[in-house]
Structures are given as structure tokens and as C-alpha cells.
Structure 1
């Protein structure tokens, strides 16, 4: 169960090598989180992440999980819930893709959509059902400001995040009153390995800043978190730019 300050004592991360997710885990372990499951494709990086969290005092476990193998989600994720209640699930997997290549190679674009949307929908529904049965817990989903309005520079990635964002909001409405808290996190450009080499966007942030915002959102029982907060107003304005003008913007 969460403590009186809303800090989860147990955490399941879907996308166990995500820099944002690991920054969040470190922050929560510094409070009261003691059990962490890192679900991801087996790799030395996943094992090293679990070992690092153990060095911080957590009982951390690497769990084989493939976002694309949706047929296995109920078995793999359901088993974790049978081992005890989980206070928080953080869905943090995703791929950025390569817009130029993906436009020319439809199967590459489909891969982005399947990981970011189809895989996330499957995993979210499995975890949401388990959280509903236990009657408490938080499902935190990493979306993106890219999903707020499709831009020509990354509309494939952005559309996958738009779908995930809308799905998560609907899931939160469906779970209202069940004891399950659903929170959408919308970071802007985050300085990670995934974005290395890309031109840095205005209001760029760090995994640690996103982790802090997630912790604050949990404490406040927020439903939507923007990182940094100023992006709420930037994206609100961008959404209302007339399409003819929007096409002329360098985005």
C-alpha cells in the first residue's frame, strides 16, 4: 500500500531500461519504495539496472517482457500481481523511430505504432484490470507533447502518442471510482540516449525533472502532468493555430 504521503512501496516498470523510469525509481526508492520490478526485453542493460537499484536498497527484479508480444502480456504481467499487490505501474516503453526512413518504409512506421500504441494498450489493460481487482494503485503512462498536435517533422511518432494519450484518458475515466488512479505524463524534449544527436527543442528537460514531476503528481493525485509545466500553455496555443499558418511553422 502507498504510505500516508502517497509514495508507493512497490513499483512495476514496463520498459525497465528507460532513463525516465529509472530516474523515477531512484527517486521513489529514496522515499519508501522497496520492491521494484523492471520489465523489459532480457539484456545486460536490464540486469545492470536491477543491480543498481538493489545497491540503493530496493528489492529489484528483472522480468522478461516484450511490448510487441501482446499474447504473453496477461501471463507475464498477471503473474506479478499474484505475488502481491503493486502500488504503482509506470508504463515507460516506446520508440522514437526515424521519420524520414519510416515515411519510406511503412513496416518501420508500423513498428513505431505497434510498440507505442498497440503494445501499450495491451499492457495497460492487463495492469488496469489487476489494479481494479486489488482496489488500489496508480497507473502512470508516459505520453508526450508530440501527441498534442501532429507535426510534419514527427507525425508518425506523434500520432502513436496521440492515440496512447487519448486511450489513457479514457481508461482513467473508466476506472474513476474504482480506487485506481490513472495519470498521463506529457514531457517535452527529454535529454536521453533516445534523443541524443537530435536538435534540442525549447524547454528541454531531463529524466530527473520528469521523475520529480511524476512524484509530485502522485502526491497530488493529478490526472495530467506536463514537464515542464510551461508546456501546458505552449501546446494549448499551438493546438489553436489555424492549419494554414501551422503548415508554415518550422515544426
Structure 2
């Protein structure tokens, strides 16, 4: 069960090698979390991540999970929930893709959409049903500020996150009053290994800053979290710009 501050004792991470997810796990282990399941494709990186968290004193298990195999999600995640209540599920998997390549290769664009949206919808619904059945718990969904407005520089990735964001908001409304809670996290550009070769963006953030915002959101019982917080205003302006103006901007 969560403690009185709203922080979880048990955590299931979907996307067990995500830098944001691992930063969040480290932060929560330093507070209250004692049991962690890292779900992802079996790999040395997944095992290294588990070992690092064990070094912080947590009981850590790895789970073979593939976002692109939705037919397996009920079975795989069901086994985790069968071991005991899960206080928090962090949906952290996703791919950035490569906009220029993905425009030329539709199959690559479809893979981005299937990972970021279809796979996430499947995993989120399975997790939400389990949280609802146990009567408590949070589903934290890593969305993106990129989903707020389609931009020519990343509309494939952005559209997949826009779909996920809308889905997660609706899921949160559907679960209201059941004891299960959905929190949508919208980071801006995150400085991490996947973005290391990309131009630095304004209002860039870090995995650690996102983890801090997630903790604060859990304590507050928030439904939506922006990282950094100033992005809420920036993206509100961008969302309402006329298309003719947006097309002239280098975004």
C-alpha cells in the first residue's frame, strides 16, 4: 500500500531500461519503495538496471515484456499482479524514431506508432484493470509535450504521444472513484542517451528532474504534470497559434 504521503511501496516499471524510469525508481527507493519489477525485453542493460537498483536496497525482479506483443500483456503483467498488490505502474517505454527516415519509410513510422500508442494502450488497460481490482494504485504515463500540437519536425512521434495522452486522460476519468489513479506526465526535451545527438532544445530537462516532478505529483495526487512547469504556458500558446503562423516557425 502507498504510505500517507502517496508514495508507493511497490513499483512496476514498463520500460525497464528507460533513463526516466530508472531515475524515478532510484528516487522512490530512497523514499519508500521496497519492491520493484523492471519489465522490458531481456538484455544485459535490463539486468544491469536491476543490479543497480538492488544496490540501493530494493528487492528487484526483471520481467520479459515486449510492447509490440500486446497478445502477451495480460499473461505477463497478470503474473506480476498475482504476486501481490502493485502500488504504482510507470508506463515509460517508447521510441523517438527518426522523422526524416520515418517519412520515407512508412513501416518505420508504423513501428513508432505501434510502440508508443498501440502497445501503450494495451499495457495501460491491463494495468488499469488490475489496479481497479485491487482497489488502489497509480498508473503514471509518460506522455510528451510534443503531443500538444503537431509540428513538422516531429509529427510522427508527436502524433503517437498525442494519442497516448488523450487515451490516458480518458482512462483517468473512467477510473475516477475506483481507488485507481492515472497521472499523465508531459516532459519537454529530455537530455538523455536517445537525444544525445539531437540539437539542444529550450526548456530542456533531465531524467532526474522528471523523477522529482513525478514524486511531487504523487504526493499531490496530481492528474497532469508538466516538466518543467513553465512548459504549460509555452505549449498553451503554441497550441493556439494559427497554422499559418506555426508554419513559419522553425519548430
Same fold? TM cut 0.5: yes
Name the TM-score, length of structure 1 as normaliser: 1.00
For residue 200 of structure 1, what is the aligned residue in structure 2?
A: 200
Equivalent position of 2:37 in the other structure = 37
2:225 maps to 225
Residue 131 (structure 2) aligns with: 131
Give the 4+ runs in structure 1 shifted more than 2 A.
none
TM-score normalised to structure 2 length: 1.00
CA deviation string 1:124-177 (max 9, x = no partner): 000000000000000000000000001000000000000000000000000000
What is the root-mean-square deviation in Å for CA atoms of aligned residues?
0.4
Corresponding residue of 2:25: 25
SS at 1:217's partner residue?
helix
Q: Which residue of 2 aligns with 1:83?
A: 83
The residue correspondences of 1:73-222 to structure 2 (distance < 5 A) are 73-222=73-222
In the aligned structure 2, how far is the partner of 1:152 from the partner of 1:7?
Answer: 39
Deviations 1:52-96 (A, max 9, x none): 100000000111000000000000001100100000000000000
Distance in 2 (alpha carbons) for counterparts of 1:152 and 1:83: 45
Give distance in 1, aligned partners of 2:179 and 2:188: 29
| SS of alignment partner, residue 165 of structure 2 | helix
Alpha-carbon shift at residue 213 of structure 1 (Å) = 0.1
Shift of 1:193: 0.7
CA distance in 2, matches of 1:2, 1:85: 10
- Structure 2 gap ranges (5+): none
Q: Which residue of 2 aligns with 1:2?
A: 2
Q: Deviations over 1:173-230 (max 9, x none)?
A: 0000000110000000001111111001100010000000000000000000000000
Deviation at 1:7, TM superposition (A): 1.0
Aligned residue-pair number? 251
3-state SS of paired residue (1:67): coil
Where do 5+ consecutive residues of structure 1 fail to align? none
